[in-house]
Amino acid sequence: MPRKTVYRAEVEYFQILDEEGRLDTELAADTLSDGDVKALYEQMIVCREFDEQAFKLQRSGRMGTFPQNKGQEAMALGAARALRKGVDHIVPYYRENPAMFLHGLPMHYVLLHWMGDERGNAIPRNVEMNALCLAIGTQTLHAAGIAWAYKLRKEDRVVLCFFGDGSTSTGDFHEAMNFAATLKLPVIFCCINNGWAISVPCAKQTASETFAQKALAYGMPTVQVDGNDIFAMYKATREAWDRARAGGGPSFIEALTYRLGDHTTADDARRYRPAAELEAAVLRDPLPRTRKYLESRGLWDESQETKAQEKAKVLVHEVVQAALNIPKPSTDDIFDFVFEQIPESLAQQKKTMRTDSIGEDPTQIGLKPPTEPGMTEKPKAVSH
């Protein structure tokens, strides 16, 4: 039987706003207005300031380990801007603070999370997103499950799931991709390729030329995008969003960006990352790129930059104070947020704050301590 090609594919890459702030007007049509870009840039400034203050909180011992978001702001904001706030759902991992803030999460919740306060994970009911996910790749399954629920309920809602390139090496990722594609679920898988899975570079993590091509195995539309380009991220996400709402199923976006900081504050990237690579990445920082565009349009100047920086400092200071000065949680929370109906045994623990039987029910003590004959009370201590 003659041989024949049964499958052939290609992966598209696109950029709309280059490193010098030059815009491809044809590709940018029907994407972001100048007003949108200005507002998103101001949000980038706030998020960069938040990042720096969170770093200082960790270094001063007032917060636990923290993963900086520095360098990935455009990726998160561009994608999140394509969704409907309060309708579509975001499933983050732990470097999407800008997207979470844009969709209504109170900023101090992120600080509480990294301070070990579980109230940071109690996402308000009117905010459509999951809590931060630290387990690598597991959130892809959550996203598929939420999207499945939307489809079963015939709800016009879309899920956007963020994850790092390291997540594509996990079994959970592949199960989620297969499940979502087979059932044509309304979910967008956004892979943030920042060059490193902790200390493992992409070249040692996969033999694939791109992470985007992994979606082809599941029959899923895929694209590789300049993740530091807020226009490209918006456009790619919006196209995937349109496809999901039309019943076309899931899409995959590989966002090329860079982690300008260490993996976390417990890491020292200088031990494994070439200095020249970081220097080159700094030149692609999304904040200067977006600012150059606004300046070229006469929409931004040094005075506005100074005001925006000062405003961000005041806002983030208030956020930090809210996190540091929040009243201590009640011990009742340990019980109230575990069971819908608390079992009697735990209700007793909650009432007495004891787990030993005597502590929970002192009436069971039936014997007095033994005494010597004729002794009616314990001898008093003699002071010397």
Catalytic residue ranges: 259, 263, 272
Instruction: For residues 60 and 64, give the distance between their C-alpha atoms in angstroms, rounded to a whole number.
Output: 10
Contacts of residue 380, defined as CB under 8 A and 6 or more positions apart, other chains included, come to none
Amino acid at 10: E
Cα Rg, the chain, nearest whole Å: 26
Q: How far is CA 1 from the centre of its chain?
A: 52
CB 144 within 8 A of CB 75: no
- The 8-class DSSP code of residue 13 comes to E
Amino acid at 233: M
* Torsion 209-168-80-55 (CA) sign: negative
Instruction: For residues 254 and 222, give the distance between their C-alpha atoms in angstroms, rounded to a whole number.
Output: 8
Element (H, E) at 197: strand 196-197
User: Six-digit token pair at 87?
Assistant: 């309708």
Long-range contacts from 49-56, C-beta under 8 angstroms, 24+ separation:
49/309, 49/312, 49/313, 49/315, 49/316, 50/97, 50/101, 50/107, 50/110, 50/312, 50/316, 50/319, 51/97, 51/261, 53/316, 53/317, 53/320, 54/110, 54/111, 54/114, 55/261, 55/265
Provide the 3-class DSSP secondary structure of residue 274. coil
CB 222 within 8 A of CB 213: yes
Which residues are 200's β-sheet partners? 197
